[in-house]
Amino acid sequence: MTGRVLIVDDEKAMRLALKALLSKEGYEVETADGGEEAVRCIEQGSFHVVITDLSMNGVGGMQVLEHARRVDPDLAVIMITAYGSEKIAVQAMKLGAVDYLPKPFDNDEVRVVVRRVMDTVQLKRDHRRLLEQVQGDFGFEQIVGRSPAMRRVFDTIAKVADADVTVLIRGESGTGKELVANALHYRSPRRAKPLIKMNCAALSRELVESELFGHERGAFTGAIARREGKFEAADGGTLFLDEVGDMPLETQAKFLRCLQEREFERVGGNQTLKVDVRVLAATNQDLEAGVRAGKFREDLYYRLRVIELTIPPLAERREDVPLLIDHFLREAAQRFGRPAKPLTTAALRACVEHQWKGNVRELRSAVEQALLLAPGAEIDAADLVHGMAPVADALVSAPLSAPSASASPSNLRSFRDAKAAVVETFEREFLLGALRRHGGNISKAADEIGMYRQNLQQKMRELGISAEELGGDE
Ligand SMILES: Nc1ncnc2c1ncn2[C@@H]1O[C@H](COP(=O)(O)OP(=O)(O)OP(=O)(O)O)[C@@H](O)[C@H]1O
Ligand SMILES: [Mg+2]
């Protein structure tokens, strides 16, 4: 890297001498006659290093330094000071100058100092680029999973992230659609530009359109000022449209045009705006049914699903559950500043078998809550059950569903036995947990878990739990 240097001095001879010296070193050099001109140059140009004399008529070196720090904190400033004024040089360094050159200087010293400063600037830039890359990768690595289904998801992300195509991300609520959108953006060449997110659910047509395309002042009641829409905000980057299935039918035509032509008008405006935006969309709805019912435009449907990426529900990839638990435990422990607690075998088994209707989101909350609330050194099933299942689910041991894979009758039986055992352990630990929290007070425990007192007593008898041993008086 050669680098761009600005030399500031109100002495012409000095400017010329420095310019000759540094140009020979291969830098692109410009000069400013005094502080005022320097300020203008800094605002206009993109320099890496500014070398400024300290004492000049009018705007002085310190002010140039201050200005440079404000305009571009990465801009490196070297101060030229009169021989013997080390004190002032130190003060300049405190204010952010990276180095100083005492006058009169020898050419070698100037070369060495400028080279070193330029290398640092370069290093900083590399570092930033690296950071951006790492952040991009992290967006991908944050998606945990090793089931074949998730491997297919990763594979598709890797294949399509840097292609400028629309991707439709499908999956039940809480399966990680937004994470996938993040990964697609941060792995694309658009990663340094904005990723703008918008949820289409529960918005009126007027609002959706004003959100998407912006509006002009007075476009509708309440539009008191012009407003930029998400498409404009995402220019150069990515627009992630969540719950796209909820987009009002009337808006869909406008949106389709924007997808195809990359142009639109603000609501209430007639100026056509052009944007360069990649669109990612997500839905947990049956779009095909929407098309059949006339609620979702067929042309838009085909345009959106150029690439379709489906994330299966967590219950269909149970092998990911332990991995996810581990991930969330570590993350939560760090975030909350608590030691990570392991799960007991029973708790882990319960998690693997749970239905997780809320998918990964539900699992994550259950783990976080358990980490914070579990009284012991380990997380037991009872600590988890609260965030995992409605009381009714945990207490009704009735029809046990078979595992999804093709199970042989004997497998099925042992699966059922295991599950029945787990459910019983669950019930016990769940009730014990509630009773302990209320010092053995049955009424209060029943209240908390939403059971009738009599039913709780009945259940306790069946399971051989006595309130006395919990310090209760009932
Ligand atoms: N594979 C995964 N690895 C790590 N975390 C995940 C994974 N999948 C989901 N999560 C986490 O679960 C939560 C829900 O994920 P996300 O918001 O992406 O789901 P979603 O599919 O967009 O849900 P919704 O349809 O409700 O908007 C987030 O906290 C996310 O970080
Ligand atoms: Mg989401």
Give residue-wise pLDDT tens across range 148-207: 899 899 999 999 999 999 999 999 999 999 999 999 998 899 988 889 999 998 788 888
Atom of ligand 1 at shortest distance to CA of 179? 18
Of 361, 362, 365, which is best to mutate to test ligand 1, by the most ligand atoms within 8 angstroms of its C-beta?
Answer: 361
pLDDT at position 213: 94
184 φ, ψ (degrees, to nearest 5): -65, -40
Protein residue whose Cα sits closest to atom 16 of ligand 1: 176
- Return the ligand number nearest the Cα of 140: 1
Out of 179-183, 208-212, 225-229, 281-285, pick the least confident.
Answer: 225-229
Task: Give the model confidence (pLDDT) of 365-407 as tens digits.
Answer: 999 999 988 888 999 988 886 545 443 333 333 333 333 333 3
Confidence of residue 421 (pLDDT cuts 50, 70, 90): low
Cα(175) to centroid(ligand 2), Å: 8
Out of 97-101, 164-168, 413-417, 425-429, pick the least confident.
Answer: 413-417
Average pLDDT over residues 295-309: 95
Atom of ligand 1 at shortest distance to CA of 180? 18
Protein residue whose Cα sits closest to atom 5 of ligand 1: 143
Protein residue whose Cα sits closest to atom 29 of ligand 1: 361
pLDDT at position 113: 94
Protein residue whose Cα sits closest to atom 9 of ligand 1: 176
Q: pTM for this structure?
A: 0.58
120 pLDDT higher than 50: yes
pLDDT at position 87: 86
Average pLDDT score over the chain: 84
| Residue whose C-alpha is closest to residue 167's, from 246, 256, 239, 260 | 239
- Return the ligand number nearest the Cα of 320: 1
The span from the CA of 197 to the CA of 206, in Å, is: 18
Of 152, 286, 360, 369, which is best to mutate to test ligand 1, by the most ligand atoms within 8 angstroms of its C-beta?
Answer: 360
Confidence of residue 415 (pLDDT cuts 50, 70, 90): very low
Atom of ligand 1 at shortest distance to CA of 242? 27
The span from the CA of 379 to the CA of 325, in Å, is: 11
Helices and strands (H and E) in the chain: how many: 20, 12
Q: Which two tokens stand for residue 388?
A: 């995992």
The span from the CA of 210 to the CA of 233, in Å, is: 13
pLDDT at position 38: 95
The span from the CA of 194 to the CA of 172, in Å, is: 26
138 pLDDT higher than 50: no
Cα(49) to centroid(ligand 2), Å: 45
pLDDT at position 249: 93
347 φ, ψ (degrees, to nearest 5): -65, -40
Whether the Cβ atoms of residue 76 and residue 50 lie closer than 8 Å to each other:
yes
Confidence of residue 428 (pLDDT cuts 50, 70, 90): confident
Pocket of ligand 1 (CB under 6 A): 142-145, 171, 173-179, 284, 324, 327, 360-361, 364
Protein residue whose Cα sits closest to atom 10 of ligand 1: 176
Cα(180) to centroid(ligand 1), Å: 9
Measured torsion, CA atoms of residues 132, 181, 306, 161, in degrees rounded to the nearest 10 = 20
280 pLDDT higher than 80: yes
Cα(200) to centroid(ligand 2), Å: 11
- Give the three-class secondary structure for 119: helix
Cα(147) to centroid(ligand 2), Å: 21
Higher pLDDT, 239 or 96: 239
Of 364, 367, 369, which is best to mutate to test ligand 1, by the most ligand atoms within 8 angstroms of its C-beta?
Answer: 364
Protein residue whose Cα sits closest to atom 28 of ligand 1: 361
Average pLDDT over residues 20-43: 94
Confidence of residue 82 (pLDDT cuts 50, 70, 90): confident
Protein residue whose Cα sits closest to atom 26 of ligand 1: 173
Could you give the residue ranges of the DSSP H alpha helices within 98-220?
107-141, 148-160, 177-186, 205-213
Average pLDDT over residues 267-279: 91
- Measuring CA to CA, how many Å separate 286 from each of 254, 259, 290, 294, 420? 22, 21, 6, 13, 35
Atom of ligand 1 at shortest distance to CA of 144? 3
15 pLDDT higher than 50: yes
